[in-house]
Structure 1
Amino acid sequence: MAQRHLDPTDPTAEAVTADALAGYLRAQATEFLRALRLHREGGSNGAGAAARGYAGGRAGSVEESVDAARALRHSARRISGSLHTFRPLLDPAWSEEMRPELAWLSGTLGLEHAYEARLERLLLALHRLSGAAVLPAQPVDARAAGGRAAGVASLPVKAAAENTGGPGGPPPAAERGNLTVGAAKAGALLERQLTLARTRAHSTALQALGSSRFHAVADKVAVLASEVPLTPTAPTTGLYPLAAAAEERLTDAIAALPLITAGHPYNAEALVHGLSPDPSPHPQDGPWHQVRLLLRLHRYAREVLYGGEAPLDVRQLTAGQALNRHRDASEAAAAAAQAARTPRITPATAYALGVLHADQRHEVEAARFAFQQAWQRQTVDAP
């Protein structure tokens, strides 16, 4: 098979038309339906029961159900992303109706795993920072400690930064004892809050998979597996301009990032905002999250253009990993800050959560620096 090229000026390039898009969408729809069937078969913990009316099958392992849910999420994201990038080639009414539904499904199925990973990340960080086990061994201390004054908002920025010992490093030995005092209770508080959030996310996912809304989405994906609603002019329209536009949006978003600031190991402004009583998302993180989304859309567009022959882009792979770490650390820092706003916790608990928050904001800065370094490299294609 001839190699597909992104450069339209290359005389040897094979034209990539809507046939490639239709084939890609059919393949992703087929993967979606296969994952749905496997999810039902692996639902021994009750997860598959929600999809019983649609998929049929037998009970299997919890792991299989989790893997199937992940595959469902991945297929839904790829279909939705392709509908966004190549929307001029698809029936407008159908596309605009499908994209938000697929985004809803992907987001709903991803919450449980996100809370689980966030809790694990925070407990491991507490263990690293304090040098002691932080898994909850006693009830969370809810004694009065001056109301909400013991929250993260009361922790001095300088103390939080110094006690983390820099990105990924432990605090000085003299301070580690103070941190250890509150680490166990901080871990217990995080365990309680994030486990509750994970349980609710699990219930929400089960309800979603058993809802008429999900069945409507699954029905449309089933149709997509055999019939892609292209516009009349799509078969003769090349895909490159639309894929190039997606790449340009990514490039422009990266150009707007403060990459020079990202080269510094400590961003005081970022830490100050996180320590404030305002629970809103961190304003500095938004543009980075947007770049992560645009990089994903660019990757999906490459998958459509190249089919199964997409060359390995080392820069894109490394940059994507850095942005994933950025998201994980950002959300973990927000969870630590939210926990520290819990009323009636002890100063030692709030102190441990404040140090944990600062540590994760350092991880955010480290991820930004890693992205900066990765994106400045030349793209290397595998043979």
Structure 2
Amino acid sequence: MAQQHLDPTDPTATEVTGDALAGYLRAQATEFLRALRLHRENGGTANGGAANKTEEAVDAARALRRSARRISGSLHTFRPLLDTDWSEEMRPELAWLSGTLGLEHAYESRLERLLLALHRLSGAAVFPGQAVSDAAGRRSGAAGAAAPSADAAGASAAVAAGSRAAGAMGDPPARAESRARGRVGAGTPSNASGPAHPTATPERGNLTVGAAKAGALLERQLTLARTRAHSTALQALGSSRFHAVADKVAVLASEVPLTPAAPTTDLRPLAAAAEERLTDAITALPLLTAGHPYNAEALVHGLSPDPSPHPQDGPWHQVRLLLRLHRYALEVLCGGSTPVDVRLLAAGQALNRHRDASEAAAAAAQAARTPRIAPATAYALGVLHADQRHEVEAARFAFQQAWQKQTVNAP
């Protein structure tokens, strides 16, 4: 189907030249340096400060990443207008910095997402934000129960059973989720006189045995990964490599290495090329697969012994990156008055959900490969993995709807 492209020149009726790019890069470099100063002043060290200082340091690190992404993205989109050697040397360093600073937050969000999903699937009533703290309170009692001996074949069979319990072929996500709630505690004896459906008991606030052990296992693994990511980020911020990047950004705040022809070159064709790459990548997506209520191929691959990322997810992650580059190009064209495109925002949010759910599903599958876990634990992880793959499919469908609406309404 032929698509109409959004006109990146729509917000600006006049030509936008390399001077606008220089101004944008200087502004982002200034934001980078400001965020770096705030991070250093508010506990951005190994021994940290008060709780409020820690939160401010987290916000400062997020601002560092945001500025680094925008500088790197602009260097990529408008690289013909910039000094080639400088640009090619700068972009990978900014990507390294942004990725390193983002790992700790990614592990924290992934753990919270998975624990909330376990609570939901087991029928427990938990308010948002309580899952992580509640799990920390249970850690001393439940951590030792996550590794009872069980043979690998039994655990694998339990994982497969849990994934099947999350939904039969062709079931929509809502129905599959309902089945998962009913079966996540199948490995735990229940009161015969009680109700058949776990959600029928309002006071049921505890996880089933399998889900509790799965939550404790995930918490140990992801908390360890988060701690390592935190240490890595601190080491990176104190390294000579980071100081070299910061020095180059400081120079960029006052002097942008444009080519001689850049001040008179129109930026709009380069921005249009970035949008063209985005629309081509979207056209190549398996949108028909996204319309299926249950993607069995994605489920089977995720629970296989192969820990490599799912091949279906890669093109969607690439579209997310291209959409971000398109947004940054619009920011350069519009300066400080970038209009809010609701449809573009909805598409970006759907792709963020897709990324989060796919990485959470991979974490659940990785936990299910832990040796000698109990069948009930593997069963709960299988249900959790299937639930997150349903979330992946729901995010793809939401993106499909947002983008098609965007295409229909495009001028």
- Answer 1 or 2: higher relative contact order, Cα 8 Å, separation at least 6: 2
Matched, 1:209 2:237: yes
Matched, 1:123 2:115: yes
CA deviation map 1:201-221 (0-9, x unaligned): 000000000000000000000
The structural deviation recorded for 1:141 is: 2.7
Q: Look up the match of 2:100.
A: 108
Q: Look up the match of 1:155.
A: 160
The structural deviation recorded for 1:75 is: 0.2
Q: Which runs of 5+ in 1 are unaligned?
A: 50-57
- List aligned pairs for 1:159-308, cutoff 5 A: 159-162=165-168, 166-167=172-173, 169-171=177-179, 174-178=182-186, 180-308=208-336
- List aligned pairs for 1:54-93, cutoff 5 A: 61-93=53-85
Classify 1:270/1:152 alpha carbon distance in 2 versus 1 (closer, same or farther; 3 Å).
farther
- 1:77 and 1:380 map into 2 onto residues whose CA distance is 30
Tell whether the 8 Å contact from 1:313 to 1:379 is kept in structure 2 after alignment: no
Tell whether the 8 Å contact from 2:16 to 2:267 is kept in structure 1 after alignment: yes
- 1:32 and 1:151 map into 2 onto residues whose CA distance is 47
- 2:84 and 2:396 map into 1 onto residues whose CA distance is 37
Tell whether the 8 Å contact from 1:128 to 1:170 is kept in structure 2 after alignment: no
- 2:59 and 2:157 map into 1 onto residues whose CA distance is 37
The structural deviation recorded for 1:143 is: 2.4
Tell whether the 8 Å contact from 1:40 to 1:47 is kept in structure 2 after alignment: no
Tell whether the 8 Å contact from 1:32 to 1:71 is kept in structure 2 after alignment: yes
Tell whether the 8 Å contact from 1:47 to 1:206 is kept in structure 2 after alignment: no
SS in 2 for 1:309: coil
- 1:116 and 1:80 map into 2 onto residues whose CA distance is 25
- 1:172 and 1:286 map into 2 onto residues whose CA distance is 27
The structural deviation recorded for 1:162 is: 4.4
SS in 1 for 2:396: helix
Classify 1:18/1:87 alpha carbon distance in 2 versus 1 (closer, same or farther; 3 Å).
same
Give the number of aligned pairs: 367
Using structure 2 for the length normalisation, give the TM-score.
0.84
CA deviation map 1:65-84 (0-9, x unaligned): 00000000000000000000
Tell whether the 8 Å contact from 1:112 to 1:202 is kept in structure 2 after alignment: yes
The structural deviation recorded for 1:174 is: 4.5
Q: CA RMSD in A?
A: 2.6
SS in 2 for 1:377: helix
Tell whether the 8 Å contact from 2:159 to 2:368 is kept in structure 1 after alignment: no
CA deviation map 1:135-165 (0-9, x unaligned): 24412432220136514795145334349x8
Using structure 1 for the length normalisation, give the TM-score.
0.90
Tell whether the 8 Å contact from 2:159 to 2:381 is kept in structure 1 after alignment: no
Tell whether the 8 Å contact from 2:343 to 2:402 is kept in structure 1 after alignment: yes
- 2:357 and 2:318 map into 1 onto residues whose CA distance is 16
The farther-off stretch of 66-75 and 144-153 is 144-153
- 1:158 and 1:63 map into 2 onto residues whose CA distance is 41
Give 1:302's aligned amino acid: L
Of all paired residues, the percent bearing the same amino acid is: 79
- 1:245 and 1:184 map into 2 onto residues whose CA distance is 50
Tell whether the 8 Å contact from 2:184 to 2:379 is kept in structure 1 after alignment: no
Q: Which runs of 5+ in 2 are unaligned?
A: 1-6, 188-207
- 1:75 and 1:82 map into 2 onto residues whose CA distance is 11
CA deviation map 1:337-380 (0-9, x unaligned): 00000001000000000000000000000000000000011379
Classify 1:314/1:173 alpha carbon distance in 2 versus 1 (closer, same or farther; 3 Å).
closer
Tell whether the 8 Å contact from 1:315 to 1:380 is kept in structure 2 after alignment: no
The farther-off stretch of 32-41 and 267-276 is 267-276
The structural deviation recorded for 1:189 is: 0.1
Q: Look up the match of 1:143.
A: 148
- 1:375 and 1:126 map into 2 onto residues whose CA distance is 31
- 1:331 and 1:75 map into 2 onto residues whose CA distance is 24
The structural deviation recorded for 1:232 is: 1.0
Matched, 1:310 2:316: no
The structural deviation recorded for 1:314 is: 1.2
